[in-house]
Amino acid sequence: MINPKQKYTDFIKAEALRLGFMSCGISRAEFLEEQAPLLEEWLNRNYQGEMRWMENHFDKRLDPRKLVEGARSVVSVLLNYHPEKIQRDPEAPKIAKYAYGEDYHFVIKRKLKELLNRIKEEIGEVNGRAFVDSAPVMDREWARRAGLGWIGKHTLLLTKGAGSFYFIAELILDLELEPDNPVADHCGNCTKCIEACPTDAIVQPYLLDSNKCISYLTIELKDQIPARYSDQMENWAFGCDICQDVCPWNRFSKPTEETVFEPHPDMLGMKASEWQEITEEVFQKIFKKSAVKRAGYKGLKQNLYFLRDHQERKS
């Protein structure tokens, strides 16, 4: 006779793949004891910068049972966003690949809601919530525990055969499932991500100072980017992919099959001059559904001005 826990686990994983997720893994919903002192130290060093929400709900961030009453399992999923094509003009300001297409929050939330509905249809009354980078949930740690990859030295999740160009999200359920086992760390002696980071944001293996990270500087920081970084931005206007681009595991990245992540056709061909002259009307057209709207037109223009001023000083 098939173990009910295994039956439900197999069903959920099969449904997740059917919905287009790259992979799905399970971990027990429990207190993240090992992460508590690490998170506390990271916050005490002020490595969160202006992301003050990271300081909120410390207990919930470490215990999913405080987010979903009676939680028994965390279902982690990965969704590939690696684009088939990238920006063509090498001189153009750069946008992180994750923001090329439709905002992942909406895309993944739709899929997770459908997955939760299918679980309820198949199994019965199951209480659960979907989380997509918008609540105090330690996504990478839960994905690691679920055997979906290991935490690389750049602090991102890495997966054999897939790299790191994917989103992570969860369903936290009051349903007991068969947990998966974590996989080994396969970074070895490689330090390419650390060496490639122009701002030295990876202060040591597995430790990131967000204040120095180009993604933070171009998205989360609301003030002008500090002048000391003018020679280190490497033309990134929104986000940064440097530590991922140099990672040997990303040679295995495959283009996403999610058509909603395809960039607006005009964006890939934009020349440097067109970026500097971008109007709010063009911004709304190209980034109508993109995560770039997090920075907003004014935020993006501020970053573009910063990059332009640096280029003009150099010349």
Residue extents of the structural domains in the chain: 4-86+96-173, 192-255+262-314
Residue 171's CB is within 10 A of a number of other CB atoms, namely: 25
State residue 230's pLDDT score: 92
Per-residue CA distances from 59 to 76, 91, 267 (Å): 20, 45, 42
At the topology level, CATH places domain 4-86+96-173 in NADH Oxidase (3.40.109)
Which has the closest alpha carbon to 32: 118, 138, 143, 105?
138
Which candidate, 205, 210, 207, 170, places its Cα nearest to that of 191? Answer: 205
**What amino acid is encoded at 10 in this protein?**
D
Q: Which among 3, 8, 33, 55 has a CA at the least distance from the CA of 145? A: 33
* pLDDT the model gives residue 177: 98
| Chain centre to alpha carbon of residue 194 | 19
Q: How many angstroms separate the CA atoms of 284 and 113, rounded? A: 28
Per run of 10 residues, the mean pLDDT along the chain (length 315 residues) is 88 98 98 96 95 90 96 98 95 97 96 97 95 92 98 98 97 98 97 98 98 97 93 97 98 96 93 95 94 94 91 68
Identify whether the C-beta of residue 81 lies closer than 8 Å to the C-beta of residue 258.
yes
Instruction: Check residue 260 and report its DSSP letter.
Output: G
Q: What is the pLDDT of residue 53?
A: 86
Give the catalytic positions in this structure.
133
3-state secondary structure of 262: coil
pLDDT of residue 315: 60
